[in-house]
Amino acid sequence: MRILLVEDDPDLGPAIARALRQENCAVDLAANGIDAGHLGDTEHYDAAVLDLGLPGKDGFTVLREWREAGRTLPVLVLTARDGWSDKVAGFKAGADDYLTKPFRVEELTMRLRALVRRAAGHAATRITSGPLAFDAQTGQFELDGLPLRLTALEWRVLSALTLAKGVVIERLDLLERVYEGDADTDSNSLEVIIGRLRKKIGAELIETVRGRGYRLYESAPS
């Protein structure tokens, strides 16, 4: 998952970003509403975590502008405001979920995974493709019923392909889901990751669609 984290607290923002990266997420951190609005308009994210009390432009305004512009990324509002009126205002502005501070990072991560899973059209938390199974709530992969060990980049690629199972993900789109905005990526890095994944789960499960990108088969091809 690639996450846009919008938090102006100089200690809390980097701490949340580190915790999400430990859960294999790629995270871009914005500390004000101006930068948040620009990133949400120009970059591809699987979800956003948005604080409300921001300098430059408040979170309500950022969220309303995203929705008015047709931005459909799932947004979890993260704020110290726990009043019912604030929650109602957040949902009216277009929030998909709401979490008040203080909070546990484990809950934040699970809520984000649920938002991304539902946005991808999956009602069930367990997604399978032949011998491969993905628990979208815990983030765990299994192959033939056994835990599958993946690096962070491998996890990001495989989870994106799994959530879009049966659909071609364009190469650039997949790169944007894997790497953070300031990452210096080699032109062949995605192919290297795909090659490693094929060795781990079986070459037949991931299809290369020439000139476009990659697709995970809905079931193991016969």
Q: CATH 3.40.50.2300 in the chain, residues?
A: 2-119
Q: 214 and 168 in contact (C-beta within 8 Å)?
A: yes
Q: CATH 1.10.10.10 in the chain, residues?
A: 126-216
pLDDT given for residue 66 in this prediction? 96
pLDDT given for residue 50 in this prediction? 96
The full length of the chain comes to 222
Nearest CA to 97 out of 45, 30, 139, 48 is that of 48
| 10 Cβ contact list (under 8 Å, min separation 6) | 31
Q: 47 and 75 in contact (C-beta within 8 Å)?
A: yes
Q: What is the third-level CATH fold of 2-119?
A: Rossmann fold (3.40.50)
pLDDT given for residue 78 in this prediction? 87
pLDDT given for residue 149 in this prediction? 96
Q: How many CA atoms lie within 13 A of 113 on its CB side?
A: 24
pLDDT given for residue 219 in this prediction? 67
Contacts 24+ apart (CB under 8 A), 120-127: 120/163, 120/164, 122/163, 127/162, 127/163, 127/165
CATH of 126-216, one of 1.20.120.140, 2.60.40.1260, 1.10.10.10, 1.10.3720.10: 1.10.10.10
Q: What is the spatial distance between Cα 89 and Cα 60, in angstroms, rounded to a whole number?
A: 8
Q: In a structure prediction context, what are the per-residue pLDDT tens digits for the chain, which is 222 residues long?
A: 899 999 999 999 999 999 999 999 999 999 999 999 999 999 989 999 999 889 999 999 999 999 999 999 999 998 877 677 777 888 888 999 999 888 898 999 999 999 999 999 998 899 999 999 999 999 999 999 999 999 999 999 999 999 999 999 999 888 888 877 655 566 578 899 999 999 999 999 999 999 899 999 876 555
pLDDT given for residue 87 in this prediction? 79
List the beta strands (DSSP E) in 8-105: 26-30, 47-50, 75-79, 97-100
pTM of the predicted protein model: 0.84
